[in-house]
Amino acid sequence: MTEEKKKESNVVYLTNVRLSFPHLIQPYAQEGQGEPKYSADFILPATHAGWAKFFEVVNKMALEKWKEHASSVLQQVNGDPKRRCYGDGSQKVDQKTFKPYDGYAGMVFIAANRKQGIPPQIIQGDGVAIDPQNTMAYAVLTREMYGGCRVNAAIKPWLQENQFGRAVRCELLAIQKCGDDTPFGDAITDASGYFGQVAAPAPGPSPAGAPFAPPTAPMPAAPFGTPSALPSFLT
């Protein structure tokens, strides 16, 4: 197998999973630490075929890279949440409530990201990718991908081995919205009921040099007995 084909075989396709913590328009660095990246979490049941495929690829890569030490290294990785991009949903805890974030309880997740300057492909409903140079179309489509919606995603796990240690990471290649679902987090408050129509502005002073215009004569009062209209603030 060629190196190119090997890379392609490491791609995992997730279908109909829930999107969480999407940062697809602007790269993001948590608490301002580290290099900003495009990123997202994908929430899925442990029975999802993509979950099994993900570990099939990770195990294969680990055997190729770490040989007889693969099992020991992966055990270490699994024991440290900071060294892996996946986990049980119960581990994704909101530090304010000490409970799992919306959507994570009873599920598993995979976190993927991509370097700044190389945005993930955004796929339209017809399967065609948006040209990232078309920033307006790219932004419009990514804004439709809110936390809680359903997406398809192409991700590629990779193995880290450097001065920071060994770890399992994941690259976000492409994402496509495939359906709506209950948004995560607090519902957006509709405050439109507090507002009315903006009144037309009062006529301003006549421009300098313009002829003086006398005020318009008032309209005659309505005949006695005819009920007047309600004041505008009561209608």
* pLDDT beneath 70, residues of the chain: 1-7, 32, 186-235
Q: Give the separation between CA 84 and CA 108, rounded to whole angstroms.
A: 13
The one-letter code for the residue type at 200 is A
Q: Cβ neighbours of residue 146 under 8 Å, at least 6 residues apart?
A: 19, 22, 183
Please, are residues 73 and 66 in contact by the beta-carbon 8 Å criterion?
yes
Domain spanning 3-179: CATH superfamily? Nucleic acid-binding proteins (2.40.50.140)
Structure tokens at 218: 């008032």
Q: Which residues of 63-81 are buried (b: 16+ CB within 10 A; e: fewer)?
A: eeebeeebeebbeebeeee
Q: How many helices (H) and strands (E) does the chain have?
A: 4, 9
Q: Cβ neighbours of residue 143 under 8 Å, at least 6 residues apart?
A: 25
pTM over 0.85: no
Q: What is the reported pLDDT for 133?
A: 86
Q: Give the separation between CA 50 and CA 126, rounded to whole angstroms.
A: 22
Q: What is the reported pLDDT for 205?
A: 58
Q: For 137-174, write each residue's pLDDT tens digit.
A: 999 999 999 999 999 999 999 999 999 999 999 999 99
Domain boundaries, the chain: 3-179
